[in-house]
A and B are shown apart, each in its own frame.
Chain A
Amino acid sequence: MTADSTLPSDMAPQLNSRAATRAQGVRRFKWTVLSPLIALMVFILLPAFVLQGYFSFFSFSIFDAGDDTSFLSYFRASEWVGLDLWKDALTDDKFGFAIIRSLLFAVGVTVGCFVIGFALALLMYRPFRGQGFYYIFFILPMLTVPIVIAYTGEMILYQNGPLNDIIGMVTGTRSDAQFLYKQEVALTTIAAMEIWNWTPFSFIIMMAGLASLPKEPQEAAQILGASKWRIFWEVQLPLLRPVILLALILRFLESMAEFPKTWGLLQGGPGSATETIPVYIFITAWQFFDISYGAVLSYLVLFMMMAIVMSAIWLLRREKKSLDAMYETKPQEG
């Protein structure tokens, strides 16, 4: 039953016109908000995509554009190569390993950030004395510039550094662990720094999620005598599923793009142990100056990330639907 059908018939047109005005206002607001983004897409991102697409089929050499100062020199210095670069990229072992490293890194970091962030949020979401202080304290790492974390990490983690000293003091034996320059552990070390850096992000999202949970189901479960664990497992966690998914997706995407710490500390080494996707593309585009191949790699990564994002959106929608369905379920009569 709609509101209109309950009102006298002479009031209906007045309400319809008000609704139309409101709809118009909403539409205007949407366009106002979206316009800058659309402009950004059309005037900046789209030309970049188009140019990148062009240079993925035309091999460009910076050294052939040297004497020509016009912007057309970029096109004059390009040569049609068709799908050659795409074929090269799809059979490029180094790129393949870079993808595997990035995926491993991102999965590890996402899980690490989420578990710690969620645990901290559970400890913190109910008001207590000094909550503000702890809140600021926990989000501090996120406010630190990643490259600073890289250099600070290096000072702490090198073999004669304070961490080994602390381990030595605690265990009573000299610790000579190499956290950075052993290829078996280098990526894990960077992942640990990334977790430290970005756990606050997961913490904030989960805090917001926990704070926005409806209190009624929790109180009802409490009255019915459910234990804290059961309330968490059977009430809070199901309601938090979309938030959890969002926290995981955002952190995963961010981790795939991690560059400052990896590059600042190890430049892809030791060996190629930390040559992740961003590092490999950086080396290709800005050390080899192979702009065309870099464009192909970027496109492939874009496709891969789009597939991941689409799957994530599908999952989020599914979660939202099941949650909506849960709220809309009416108690059975009788």
Chain B
Amino acid sequence: MFEKIKWSELSRREALKAGTAAAAVGAATPMMSGTAFAGTEEDSIVAAAKKAVPGGQDLTGLMWGLYSSGAKPVMDDFAGLTNIKISKLQDISAFEIPQRAMAEALSKSPEFDFFHVDTNMIPSLASAGLLEPLDDYMAAANFKVNAVGDFGKFLTYKGKTYGITTDGNVHTQFIRKDLFENPDERKAFADKHGKEMAWPETWEDDLELMKFFHRPEQDLWGSANLRDRGSSVAWWYMYLYSAGGFPFTDDMEPNIDNDAGEYAFKTYLDVKEVSHPEASGWGTPQMIPRIINGNAFSCQYWDGIIALAENPSKSKTSGMWSYGPVPGSKFSGKLIKRSISTPNVGVLVNRHSPRKEAMAYMALFMGTAENSARIVGDPANTFHDPWHVDHFKPGSLPEKVYTKGGMDAIKQNLQIVTPPIFLTGLLEFETELKRNLSEMYAGDKTAKKAASDTSEAWARSIRRIGKRRLRDELETYKSLFPSIDVPS
């Protein structure tokens, strides 16, 4: 992969050009404001990048503006140090990039050097031949992904690393502390239910609390969980996994037309009672303002919203939230809690790009302890969430933005984090699941019918993608699951 430089083939012009660039970089580095890389992590990546791409390169990629603004300072630093710079970004939503990336895979296009996309797409995109494995670059730069728990595995597929996360999304429980701790509310709850109000351990506890605080006449809704066709599938996974369910059998047959599957669909539907009537059409742009404006009692939501909710200049509910592990289920006979990481957004490098080496090193540079903390800890652009071990050290930059309580909750949820369907064909499986969830939520079918229809559609997708291929991938998918049931 790394070709040795043949000095005899290097023209005088190229040598001078490289020398000039190196001199310029060398001169510019000490002048860079506010950035001093004391650690060897960054130094070795920069050295490896300079060796591989001496003159630097201009790169381009697909990245959502909400993400690129937080990552830009780090990208600019890398450009200053190596002359490898992002000269053009196509700004589209992270939720649209999976389809775009698949289209790029289909056309085997070298146009984009990287895709900032849900790393759960790694099996599909790697199978479609789009992704460059990063292991050789990591070895050359002496770099390791140092994520909390087994979270680093989410970036691998069949033993190879295909991405560097920038946004360690994990769902976290949000509860309105001001209401939850209010003595009058606690008394009213105790009078009504004959028990003390407590942090919800199960989905059923959660629903009971949400029902109690569901007050539409005050524009206060029990739940702010998403129920749209776009991304609300995340909740379904938590319900299924915590019930002890798994979407497929070992023989790669759909495994949801059963009690656990029906439980997941039913639990998803039960929340309708405490959701806004328009929730079926609301994605994050509509729901987030309702959370931070105080129109919801609780939800499980992406951890990045902690940073937003605690920012007094942007939120009306700063200091009014408690965070903790998501509820679980005793459906299987024991309490199991499962959070979800979708989308877990990271940088994936295009194998067809002639500039892939340069891009790979930039991706590694974004994943170091210090740089990832700068990306995650940006107080204004809070789309990148903590994932690195060092982010959770007391006094870290991310802790200042996410608060101590928020960081503790994120760490707890990372201990029980699970992926969505980590197989080739994620989009196909999820599209059918979303369709059925949406039809059930709209009242077209029961939970049982939704489970059986999804199962039937999945069987067709399995046949189309190839049962043997998927069976081979099951082991990787299962290896991403946590070994503990409840976080410590």
Contacts and interface: CB of A to CB of B under 8 A. Distances in A.
Q: How large is the interface on B (under 10, 10 to 19, 20 to 34, 35 or more residues)?
A: 35 or more
B278 A178 contact: yes
Nearest to B430: A287
Contacts of B439: 271-272
A288 interface: yes
B286 interface: yes
A180 interface: yes
Interface stretch (A5-13, A44-52, A57-65, A239-247): A57-65
B127 A66 contact: yes
Nearest to B281: A181
A183 interface: yes
A61 B129 CA distance: 12
B431 A288 contact: yes
B431 A287 contact: yes
B129 A69 contact: yes
Interface string B263-301: 000000000000011111100001000000000000000
B230 A267 contact: yes
B354 to A, nearest CB: 13
A295 interface: no
Contact of B280 (A63, A265, A270, A289): A270
Interface in B346-362: 352
Interface stretch (B65-73, B99-107, B112-120): B99-107
B461 interface: yes
Nearest to B216: A176
A67 B128 CA distance: 7
A273 B102 contact: no
Contacts of A271: 438-439, 441-444
B228 interface: yes
Given A67-B129, A269-B228, A270-B438, A289 B281 contact: no
Contacts of A231: none
Contact of B281 (A266, A283, A288, A290): A266
Nearest to A66: B129
Contact of A273 (B106, B128, B442, B465): B442
B469 A268 contact: no
B278 A289 contact: no
Interface residues of A, number: 35
B229 A268 contact: yes
Interface string B120-141: 0000101111100000000000
Contact of A62 (B102, B281, B352, B442): B102
Given A62-B106, A269-B442, A181 B278 contact: yes
Interface in B448-475: 461, 464-466, 469
A266 B465 CA distance: 28
B102 to A, nearest CB: 6
A283 B466 contact: no
Contact of A159 (B129, B277, B431, B469): B277
A284 to B, nearest CB: 9
Contact of A289 (B106, B126, B276, B441): B106
A63 B424 contact: yes
B54 interface: no
A288 B229 contact: no
Contacts of A61: 464-466
B281 A69 contact: no
B428 interface: yes
Contacts of A66: 105, 126-130
Contacts of B108: 69, 71, 73
B126 A158 contact: no
Contact of A181 (B127, B277, B352, B465): B277
Contacts of A183: 442-444
Interface in A269-287: 269-273, 283, 286-287
B26 to A, nearest CB: 38
Contacts of A69: 108, 129, 352
A271 B276 CA distance: 16
B427 interface: yes
B281 A63 contact: no
Contacts of A268: 229, 435, 438
Nearest to B283: A267
Nearest to B279: A181
B431 A283 contact: yes
A152 to B, nearest CB: 14
B442 A287 contact: no
A183 B280 CA distance: 10
A254 interface: no
25 contacts: A59-B464, A62-B128, A63-B466, A65-B128, A66-B126, A66-B130, A68-B129, A69-B108, A158-B278, A159-B276, A159-B277, A176-B277, A181-B280, A267-B230, A268-B229, A268-B435, A270-B438, A271-B439, A272-B439, A286-B99, A286-B103, A288-B427, A288-B431, A288-B461, A290-B464
Q: List the 10 shortest-distance A-B pairs measured between CB atoms, nearest first.
A: A66-B129, A271-B442, A181-B281, A269-B229, A63-B127, A271-B439, A287-B431, A270-B442, A181-B278, A288-B428
Given A63-B124, A265-B281, A286-B99, 7 more contacts: A159-B276, A270-B280, A271-B438, A271-B439, A287-B427, A289-B428, A290-B464
